[in-house]
């Protein structure tokens, strides 16, 4: 799962850099359009603004998805990996002849 997150994060970084590149280019073009009174270039800048806005929405949505997935995975991991204290207690109970399965491991098994 960690590799998927790293890959998704790298893809997100590339999209963000691409959006920044488009925005920087648009600023230069907008300044040029104003200084040269180039209406055709101004229209092109406005058209490209829509592309930049769509990219921003896409990136924002992806960030929320990645954060939600990481939070979910952390919660699952925390609930399926017992604390050191519960492991110690389980080890003590496991040495008794009449112990049953750990309730903790049973709850994790049902999630899998």
Measured at the CA of 103, the angle between CA 101 and CA 108, to 5 degrees, comes to: 105
63 with 111, same domain: the answer is: no
Overall domain count for the chain: 2
43 with 63, same domain: the answer is: yes
Structural domain boundaries, residue 88: 83-112
57 with 101, same domain: the answer is: no
- How does residue 94 score in pLDDT terms, banded at 50, 70 and 90? low
pLDDT exceeds cutoff 70 at 31:
yes
Are 86 and 104 in contact by the 8 Å Cβ rule? The answer is yes
CA distances from 17 to 13, 50, 52, 63, 97 (A): 6, 17, 11, 14, 61
94 with 71, same domain: the answer is: no
71 with 88, same domain: the answer is: no
pLDDT exceeds cutoff 60 at 14:
yes
55 with 106, same domain: the answer is: no
12 with 41, same domain: the answer is: yes
Average pLDDT for residues 45-58, to the nearest whole number?
A: 94
């Amino acid at each position: 799962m960690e590799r998927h997150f790293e890959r998704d994060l790298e893809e997100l970084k590339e999209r963000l850099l691409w959006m920044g590149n488009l925005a920087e280019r648009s600023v230069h073009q907008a300044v040029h359009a104003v200084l040269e009174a180039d209406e055709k270039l101004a229209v092109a800048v406005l058209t490209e603004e829509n592309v930049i806005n769509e990219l921003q929405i896409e990136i924002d949505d992806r960030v929320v998805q990645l954060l939600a997935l990481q939070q979910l995975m952390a919660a699952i991991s925390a609930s399926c990996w017992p604390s050191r204290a519960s492991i110690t207690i389980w080890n003590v109970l496991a040495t008794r002849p009449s112990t049953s399965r750990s309730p903790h491991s049973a709850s994790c098994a049902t999630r899998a």
